[in-house]
Structures are given as C-alpha cells and as structure tokens.
Structure 1
Amino acid sequence: MIVKKLQPLIVLAILFLLASCSSIYMPNVPATPMFRNQGEAYVSGHINTQGNMSGSFGVAATDHIAIITNGSYIKSGIKSNEQFDQKLIEGGVGYFAKMGKDKKQILEFYGGYGIGNTLNIDKRASTMGFEAVETREMDFDKIFVQVNYSSTQKRKLNLFGNKRELNYGTAIRLSRVGMTDFVVDGVGVQKEENLFIEPVFFTRLELFKGFQLQYTTGFNIGVVDNEYLKAGNSIFTLGVSYNLGQKK
C-alpha cells in the first residue's frame, strides 16, 4: 500500500512541524492536476486553520504538455504576538504521462517562476492592544522544478451507498527563493536567498466525476542557514479539486 510507504515521511513531516521556528517564507500548496489527456482543465482550492488559502488552475495543451498557474494568500495574527501576511503567484509549464499496465499511475514534471511579498511583524501586548516590536517586509521571486506522482486505487471505497475512487500522490518541489527587496523596521538590510526542498503528500476522494476532496500535508527543508529566509512553515490543508474534460 502506498499509504504504508508514505507513513515514515508523514511522521518526519510532523517532526519538522514540531521543531520548526519562525520563517519569513510560507510554502504554498503546489498544483497537482494529474492530467491524462489533451483538453483537460484543472482547478483547485485549499485552506487551513491559519487562514492560508491556495488556488491552482491548469490546462493540458496536448497529450503530454500542460500549463499551470498557482497562487496563495495568508493574513494571520493581526491580534496576536506575531502577524504574518503573504501573497504569492506562480506559473509553469510541464510534461505529463500515464504509466503502468492499467494506466492508473500518472507522472508529471513542471518548471516555473513566481513572485511574492511577505509582511512579518513581531508584537507585544500592551494596555492599548498589541504594539509592533520588529517589522520585516520582503519582496521575493522564485524558480521551481517539481515532480508529481499519483496512483489510483484499484478497489474503490464504499461511501454513502456508492463506490468512490481514492487516489494518493506526492509532489516533490525544489524552489530557489531569493529576496528582491528586504527591509527591517523601514531600513534596507542584506538580502538572502535559499534553496528549499518541499515534499508534499495528498489524498483525494472522488465525490462525483472529476470532483475530489483533497487532504494535503507537507514540509520544507532549507539548504542555506539564513537568519530570516529559512525553513520552518509546513503545509496542512483541506481542499477540493476538479478536473474538467477527463476521459475514462
């Protein structure tokens, strides 16, 4: 079972979450359309308890070439000790193919570029509410390469009186993220860049043709030991995805 194979990695993800420290970069949920044929379109949306929202769109231009766009937005901690706001948008192009005897496995490769902005404020409580202690803001860009893999379970899950298709997948992304502008308390400081390894695991349950409920979990590893632009934020989201024009 794929789930059993992924269990050690999921445990590792949780350990990274528990050991994480504050970072000025929040990874987004990557696009995982898992295309099968030319003409398919894909749209998805995801959210977590911190208010981190991600959305994706993609289209299969040919039987093997696809285009994807992806964005995320988070605004959290306005009335707490730490405020974190981030906007990110990215796009890419890639190759996809069906695999296996029954063509139930899909492999995708993507490469792309993105830009974003982050506002991170450390605060302290006072009689007037929360006051800013340190304010950090960065503009950044990113270059990423990504590999997606998914497999559909041969046996379907019985749910609400019907058999529902269940599939599992993973996306492994390498992202070079670099600051294009960085200020601390309004003063420009030395810019940083990092290379992030971002494994993501997802489970999809088909509710009806093309429409799936998706749970996503993931984490990131930073290669460079930076002060601000480092690993530390993980992905735990619930969302939906829809593939239009998919052929059986």
Structure 2
Amino acid sequence: MKTVRLLLMALAVLAFASCSRQMHTYVPNPANVPLLKEKNEFKANLSLTNWQAAYAVSDNIAVMVNGQYVWRNLLYDSDSDGDWLLDPHVRGGLIEGGVGFFKAVDSRQRAIFDVYAGYGNGSFKTLDNEFSADSIRGNTNYQLRTKFHKFFIQPTFGFSHKVVEAAFSTRISVVRFYDQTMGSKVFENDDVRRENFLKLGDKAMPFFEPTFTVRAGYRYIKWHGQLLISVPINDETYSGYQVGDFFQPVSFSTGISLNFGQWVQDAKK
C-alpha cells in the first residue's frame, strides 16, 4: 500500500509541475539497472549525459560506478523558458559508486533480482526565472547553486534475454544538500522562496524513485531506455511552493547498452 501511495504522489507531482516554471537544483540521475547473471559479466550503459558500468566480481556480488552531466544549452536558446517539465538552464551532475547482490530466480536464469546500495556526490546550478536574457550573460546575480551528498538503495526485479530486457526498480535516494549559494537578485521580491531555498540544507531529503527500464537489440548491444519518477517522501519543511520548483520530478534517458558476459557468448550456440 505504501508503494501505491507513493506512486499516486508521483502523479500529483507531475500535475503540479505542468503548472509551474521549472528551476531545478536537483536532477535525479538514471538508475543503473545491470541485471547481471554471472561472475565476470560486465555491462555498460552510455548516453550523451550519463555513463554507467557494472561488473560482477563473484557469482552474486557486483560493483557499479555511475556518472552524470546535465547541460541543456544544445536543446534551448539562451532566452528560452524551456518546457513544462525541464529547466533549460540547469547544469551539473554527480559521480557515484555502489556494491550489490544479484541472483537469478528461475531455472533458465532469465528472471533476475538484484539490490544495490551506494554513495554519490555532486552539484547543480541554475538561474532564477526572473532574469532577462540580455542581462544574464556572464552575470551570476541570478544564479542558484547547491552541492549534495547522496546515499541510495535500489532493489530491482527484471527479465534478461539476449534480445530484450525489462526491469522495475524502486530506488530510495537520501540527498543531503550543502553549500547553497544564490546571487544578489535571486528571489529579490519573494522572501518566502528565498527562505525555502536556504532550508534545503537543514536536513536530509529522501526521494522515492520508481524506475522502468527497457532494452532491445541483440546479444552484445541494445538500445536502452528508462523512465524515472522522483518524489520527495517528506517535504513539509519546504511548504509554500510546489515541489517541482527545486527538484526535477521525472526524467527519461536513452542510449546504448553493452553487455560482455559468457552467457551472451553462449546464447549464439
């Protein structure tokens, strides 16, 4: 029931986000969902803004490393307001690593359960929506910036085949913001939002991040797509504004997935 309630919260976040101009100081990175099966298997997911790798060090234990860099200047011009979901001015990212347990749960080794836990560190910066395009060039008076520590745990159940893979994950991320800075003109006429931004570092913020992952191709290389929804579990500290103002509520990533494992080689036989 708790998972259902959190999913309903996620839908509410999307509804609120459609009514507000976006200004994000946290953009969730895609979940690394490797679905490994055996010792020495290596898998990597690559896109323009995200890089993920996982390696099985034993029959049930694996390590992962993930990188993210968000820069949307190629998608929007300098005076763009973006769209109903994305902040066009956000820039930043993170580096994280983790360790996990994986196991095939059927006799054909196609159904996989795994769980990973890890830590990351990163930062993001963006612009107050009140800036004018002509005045912002080289000007930090309208800039917001925050750094953060992130801890996560990520259980996943999925299906892995040489042609197609699909998985559902329920990642919990606990993010601790620190070193928030803002320019002199940020929220110049809105003391409530200015105070709320400074409150981000008061305590750790947990996020519920359900994730749907699909891959399709053949053996070593597949197309990779993932939808992730990010919902603050407890946001009463930040009353007075919509949660989508500072936290991007949904992301979609796509790229290629590379898999190097003995079972992939044996699949052609």
Q: Quick check: TM above 0.5?
A: yes
Matched, 1:32 2:33: yes
Partner of 1:161: none
Matching residue of 2:193: none
1:5 aligned partner: none
Provide the rounded CA distance (Å) in 2 between the counterparts of 1:134 and 1:224: 28
Aligned length: 224
- 1:125 equivalent in structure 2: 132
TM-score, normalised to structure 2, is 0.73
> Is 1:19 matched up with 2:16?
yes
- Structure 1 residues 10-19 or 79-88, which shifts more? 10-19
- What residue is the counterpart of 2:60 in the other structure? 64
1:100 to 101, 106, 110: 106
For residues 86-132 of structure 1, what are the alpha-carbon distances to aligned partners after superposition, in whole Å with 9 as ceiling and x for unaligned?
12110000100001242210111111000001111125335567676
TM alignment of 1:107-186, pairs within 5 A: 107-123=113-129, 124-125=131-132, 134-152=142-160, 165-185=163-183
Residue in 1 that maps onto 2:249: 233
Gaps spanning 5+ residues in structure 1: where? 1-8, 48-52, 154-163
> In the alignment, residue 224 of structure 1 is paired with which amino acid?
N
**Native 8 Å contact 2:45 2:224 kept in 1:** no
Give the stretch that moved more between structures: 226-235 or 53-62.
226-235
Picking from 74, 89, 93, the partner of 1:83 is 89
With the length of structure 1 as denominator, give the TM-score of the two structures. 0.79
Backbone CA RMSD of aligned residues: 3.0
What residue is the counterpart of 1:244 in the other structure? Answer: 260
Distance (Å, rounded) in 2 between the aligned partners of 1:171 and 1:235: 14
Cα distance change, pair 179–128 in 1 and its aligned pair in 2 (3 A) = closer
Q: Comparing both structures, which one devotes a greater share of its residues to helix?
A: 2
2: distance between equivalents of 1:126 and 1:142? 33
CA distance in structure 1 between the aligned counterparts of 2:210 and 2:95, rounded to whole angstroms? 19
Checking the alignment, whether the CA contact within 8 Å between 1:17 and 1:232 is kept in structure 2 is: no
Equivalent AA in structure 2 for residue 111 of structure 1: A
Bigger fraction of residues in strand: 1
Q: Which structure 2 residue ranges, 5 or more long, are not aligned? A: 1-5, 82-87, 187-196
CA contact (8 A) 1:122 1:133 kept: no
Q: Kindly state the Cα deviation for residue 134 of structure 1 after the two structures are TM-superposed.
A: 2.9
Partner of 1:83, secondary structure, is coil
CA contact (8 A) 1:113 1:144 kept: yes
The alignment-based identity, stated in percent, is: 23
